[in-house]
DNA sequence: TCTATTAGTAACAAAGTAGTTACCAATGTG
DNA sequence: CACATTGGTAACTACTTTGTTACTAATAGA
């Protein structure tokens, strides 16, 4: 859940996009985001807890960089959902599935499978 | 933008996963989600506004189904970020990039950075 | 050493989110 | 027709999120 929640905020997505092009300091990231530095700082903390960014201390500066692997759960979820949904099922096939699911739902409610009248499928 | 926010909630993600396996009614979706039907109903509304699900009225029932294309912006964003971040850049290369960016950040206040670092690592 | 820069934390206010119960409308079914 | 089923909306509450300003700590540099 962590990475999904982290991606919900547009500022955090912009930060990740920026970091995808290379590491940056907090002041640099703040410079182009009409919000205060503490706000950016907290966004970075959220991203860090989600495993999407990592920081390295360089003197008094802190260099944040993208951790692309942190996005893996998101990609995996996306793949799972879209693959199971099937590769471009035509509309009329979805309709057929639709009727099927309705019948199943009713059967489950009263647990009597002898009640089927399969006159819709051809 | 919208779809990202919709995916932030675990209940909504579960609903999408469920609908990926076929359409379902609201009562069916509610049956396996220890929250009330109005809550599910509102989640479905959010998903609908995000373009991730669609509904079809069948008598007094409403059949929701996944709209997989609605996830396309998410996948596109993921692709963009991970592609730009590069395919598995080794740690020492990231360090090099790190130093490069730090110097550039300082230069930006004075001179114009008219160079680029586009090195492939295979 | 004194001062500027960088960055995190604390405390707070405004807004959004997610759940609840109560209610209403529409559609099947005995 | 009477009644159950299905599903959306309204009103409300509790919690979370996101921004702010003020403060503190550590490092760089004249």
| pLDDT by residue, tens only, chain A of 122 residues | 589 999 999 999 999 999 999 999 999 999 999 999 999 999 999 999 999 999 999 999 999 999 999 999 999 999 999 987 766 555 445 444 444 444 443 333 333 333 333 222 21
CA distance B30 to chain A (A): 12
Q: Which nucleotide is nearest to A61 (CA to C1')?
A: C6
pLDDT attached to residue B84: 77
pLDDT attached to residue A86: 65
| ipTM attached to this prediction | 0.77
**Interface contact flag, B20 A81, Cβ < 8 Å:** yes
Q: Are A52 and A3 in contact (CB under 8 A)?
A: yes
Q: d(Cα B46, Cα B120) in Å, to the nearest integer?
A: 43
Look at residues A81, A46, A29 and name the one whose alpha carbon lies nearest to residue B3. A81
Q: Are B87 and A13 in contact (CB under 8 A)?
A: no
**Interface contact flag, A105 B20, Cβ < 8 Å:** no
Q: d(Cα A91, Cα A94) in Å, to the nearest integer?
A: 5
**Interface contact flag, B58 A23, Cβ < 8 Å:** no
Domains and CATH numbers, chain A: 2-71 (1.10.10.10)
Query: What Å value separates CA A53 and C1' C14?
Result: 29
What are φ and ψ of residue B89, in 5° steps? -80, 130
**DSSP H stretches of helix in A10-71:** 10-20, 26-31, 37-49
pLDDT attached to residue B50: 98
**CA angle A32-A38-A44, nearest 5°?**
75
Mapping DSSP to helix (H, G, I), strand (E, B) and coil, where does residue B100 land? helix
Please provide the average confidence, as pLDDT, over all residues in chain B. 79
Q: Any atom of strand D under 7 A from CB of A9? A: yes
Q: Are A4 and A74 in contact (CB under 8 A)?
A: yes
The token pair that represents B90 in the structure block: 């080794």
Per-residue pLDDT averaged across B55-77, rounded?
97
Which positions in chain A touch B101 (Cβ < 8 Å)? 22-24, 63
Which residues, in sequence order, are bridge partners of residue B57? B62
């Amino acid at each position: 859940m962590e990475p999904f929640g982290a991606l919900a905020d547009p500022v955090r997505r912009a930060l990740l996009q920026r970091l995808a092009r290379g590491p940056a300091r907090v002041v640099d990231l703040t410079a182009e985001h009409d919000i205060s530095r503490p706000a950016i700082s907290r966004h970075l903390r959220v991203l860090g807890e989600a495993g999407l960014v990592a920081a390295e201390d360089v003197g008094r500066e802190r260099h944040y960089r993208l951790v692309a692997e942190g996005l893996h759960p998101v990609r995996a979820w996306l793949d799972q959902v879209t693959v199971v949904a099937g590769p471009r099922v035509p509309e009329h096939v979805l309709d057929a599935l639709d009727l099927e699911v309705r019948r199943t739902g009713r059967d489950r409610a009263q647990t009597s499978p002898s009640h089927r009248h399969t006159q819709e499928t051809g």
